[in-house]
Amino acid sequence: MEIKVKTSAGPVPVSIDTSSNPTVLTIKEMFLKKKYFPIRRQTLYYLGYRLDDDEIPLSDLGDDLDGSLTLVMPKAALVDSDSDEPVWLTTGKSRSFKLHQIPENRPMRPMKLKQERIGIVHHIEGETEGSRKYHIHKYDVSADTTIQIRGSGSDRKVVFMIRGEEVLIQGRMKVYDEHNEHHEHPQNRLAQAVSSMAQFVSAISSFVSTSQTMHQPVTSPCPDQMAITALPSGSSAITGLGHSQPQDQQQEKTSQMSTFERMKGPSGGIVEKAINLILEAVQLARIQQNNAEEFAEKLHKRVKGHFIHAKNTSNYKFDKRAMEEILTNFYNEKAFYLSEQERFDALVLALKEANLQAIAHEIEETID
């Protein structure tokens, strides 16, 4: 029996000998041979449910397994360095990238990948943090790749190994500018965590203050009760007499945004650009209704449920508005708590898993 197992790279056909009582482990062993992914780093799902027991017989999952199994493969390549000096690597995109320092003579360090790209820094221009430029060689690699860094300085050599064999991967030159792009440096992570905690405490304090105000009697302020409130810019605003403070105006403006606008995020941001390209693909009929259903499923199972309910209504038409509804439901189900980068990554991954790799690649190239 041959079935197709879904992966982030698209469906992979797998031949199963039903007479040998195959199990979940059987599928993982096949991918060990096909893709050289260690079994311990594979996670198999059946209709969205994780299969934690490798000994579960496939016959217990039903007779028709074609398209019902999803294999999540590792998102980490291995970096092996025998260099006599530290090596700086980048992962992610130029707009939002992370720096990683590989200490000298550091063997086999797993490196989590974003969009299966990695950069090796060969020159850093400038010394002032926030204005440095990183000149890198950027490579498209997969999670089953071992990246070997040999030698130091001008004698440094980069070798790529897949399944124990050396492969040639062409790199391209890129310059990542700290001044123009956001990146995450290891030394900045503590500051970011402290900032996030401060924002959380501020939000809780604001909520408590608002709750207390709601339980107090409302009285009209007298002229001598007017207060001068300092604004961040150094100016001031008179409160009392019903005047709204700038922060309240901003909150009101935010509350008036539609859910779809919240999903898109900041104007000109990476998510808005990705969504615009997705909507353009719908207009050009590059995304059909059947693609959209699978795309919805990859975003979230309840997003697919909303889509099926909508398409079964009378006079349903798949168009830009229908795609906007899919993205709106994704925001309501999951994306509301994701960062902009995480939302972008989720959209690209869902496109790839829905066999819309060409559109996903165009989005990555446009944003990068």
pLDDT of residue 132: 83
Q: Hey, what are 48's tokens?
A: 């969205």
CA–CA distance, 167 with 272 (Å, rounded to integer): 37
Alpha-carbon gap, residue 115 to 176, rounded angstroms: 17
- What amino acid is encoded at 99 in this protein? L
Q: Give the span between the Cα atoms of 70 and 47, in whole angstroms.
A: 8
CA atoms within 13 A on the CB side of 226: 12
- From first CA to last CA, the distance across the chain in angstroms is 42
Nearest to 98 by CA among 178, 27, 208: 178
Burial tier of 274 (Cβ tally within 10 Å: 0-12, 13-18, 19+): buried
10-residue stretch averages of pLDDT, the chain, 368 residues long: 77 79 87 68 82 87 80 70 81 75 69 68 82 84 74 77 71 78 50 54 53 47 42 40 47 62 90 94 92 93 88 88 94 87 91 92 82
pTM over 0.85: no
Residue 69 in contact with residue 76, Cβ under 8 Å?
A: no
Q: Exposed, middle or buried: residue 65 (CB in 10 Å: 0-12, 13-18, 19+)?
A: buried
Nearest Cα residue to 176 out of 134, 114, 204, 236: 134
Q: Give the three-state DSSP class for 101.
A: strand
> Residue 199 has what pLDDT?
56
Report DSSP state, residue 244: P
Give phi and psi for 242, each to the nearest 5.
80, 10
Q: List strands edge to edge, sheet with 96-102.
A: 172-177, 133-140, 117-125, 87-92, 96-102, 182-184
Phi, psi (5° rounding) for residue 155? -90, 5
Tell me the CA distances in angstroms from 328 to 101, 212, 306, 324, one per residue in order. 39, 34, 11, 6
Q: Angle at CA 336, nearest 5°, toward 332 and 338?
A: 135
Report d(CA 34, CA 32) in Å as an integer. 6
Which pLDDT value is given to residue 3?
Answer: 83
Cα(53)–Cα(39) distance, integer angstroms: 12
d(CA 81, CA 152): 10
Q: Which region holds residue 163: left if phi is over 0, alpha if psi is between -120 and 50, else beta? A: left
